[in-house]
Amino acid sequence: MSSTVLEHPTPEKRHITTKPRPSDVAFRATLNVMSYSSLLILAAIGGFLAYRGYDAFKHNGIGFITKVDWNSSAGDGNGPYGMAAMIVGTLVISLVALVIGVPISVLTALFLTYYAPEGLKKALVTVVDLMASFPSILYGLWGFIVLAPMATYWAKLVYKYLGWIPFLSVPQPAFDRSPFLAGIVLSIMIIPIVTSISREIFAQTPLERIQAAYALGATRWGMIRAVVLPFGASGVVGGAMLGLGRALGETVAVYSVLNIVFKINWHILYGFGGNVASMIVLKFGEASFNEKKALLAAGFVLFVMTLLVNIVANSVVSRAVKSGK
């Protein structure tokens, strides 16, 4: 018997390799390279805008950000250019948008998660998604035609009863095309994103904690206050920051409703304001070569502002989502 085994000698050792075949080498190399296209695009945006805007930064120095004058008619078109009024204006209307939009969004998210019956909930979630895909010029046109008269009326009411608060006062009774109106339009535009992020986080609240709260005799509101809100707070903050990122960069809707003037205005009800994005559109058409460079520099500032806000917002949201899982 042993002889028969010997008649079949041990086969030669096979060569086993993990070397990928050429098609895979090419495939993986392509993906590795192409995945960096996003880096390339972001770097190109920052690079080109900074490069073209360099002259404006050089001529105006830090004054480009801290000074208010935007003088395009002076001599060689080199300014002085300063976008302080626009930066302040952008922050003011974005804050108005957050103050109005975030509470409404959180309430909507709570309503959708814990109050609405199943059928209504599905329909309304679709509507929220739909709202996010409306073109911004629709919000602009609607804000200009439909909302503006109402907002002027509301502004007068607010002024009448709360005008003693410094930022709600006005130097003269001019309420049209105010940061207040622009803020309301923006608040409507950020509702979809803040609502859907908040809803996503609220829906991740651990069921056992919810049931524990009910078992201890909590009412629905008691449960929400003790369980859902503490759990979802960081997600709501992240969602609000994503909304802020959107509000900072909005162009067309703000341009349509806001009276853009190069002066710092803290009075949100008063009829003029500013916004970096719409200022670029406003000035670009008739700008000289040098002024265009200054506007590209303004674009660079806007790019950096929104990038920073978005990076922080995304890290807050992803941390909140992870902790929920």
Partner 1 sequence: MTHHETVYPKRPWKATKSDLIPVIGLLVLAAVVDYAVVAVTPMKGKLAYAFLFFVFGAGFQMALKWKQLGRRAAVDSLAGSVAISGAALAFIPVASLLITAVTKGLKGLYPGFFIHDMSVANYQSPLNQGGVLPAIVGTLYLIVIATLISLPLSLLTALYLTEIKGKASGFIQFLIQAMSGIPSVVAGVFIYSAFLLTTSLRGSTIMGALALSILMIPTVTRTAQEVLLLVPRDLREAGLALGATQWKTVATIVVPAARNGLITAVILGVARIAGETAPLLFTIGVSNKVNLNPLSGGQASLPIYIWGGLGDGSETGINRAWSAILVLLIIVLTLFVIARVFGTRKVKTK
Beta-bridge partner residues of 70 = 81
Q: Quote the least distance from Cβ 107 to partner 1, whole Å.
A: 2
Q: Quote the least distance from Cβ 16 to partner 1, whole Å.
A: 14
Q: Quote the least distance from Cβ 71 to partner 1, whole Å.
A: 21
Q: Quote the least distance from Cβ 45 to partner 1, whole Å.
A: 5
Q: Token pair for residue 84?
A: 């302080």
Residue 2 or residue 133: which is nearer to partner 1 going by CB?
133
- Alpha-carbon distance of 220 to 120, in angstroms, equals 19
Residue 3 or residue 108: which is nearer to partner 1 going by CB?
108
DSSP string of 207-252, one letter each residue: HHHHHHHHHTT--HHHHIIIIIHHHHHHHHHHHHHHHHHHHHH--H
Residue 141 or residue 264: which is nearer to partner 1 going by CB?
141
Q: Quote the least distance from Cβ 97 to partner 1, whole Å.
A: 13
Residue 74 or residue 129: which is nearer to partner 1 going by CB?
129
Cα–Cα distance list, 58 to 80, 297, 310 (Å): 11, 11, 28
Residue 66 or residue 219: which is nearer to partner 1 going by CB?
219
Bin 177: left if φ > 0, else alpha if -120 < ψ < 50, else beta: left
- Alpha-carbon distance of 219 to 164, in angstroms, equals 39
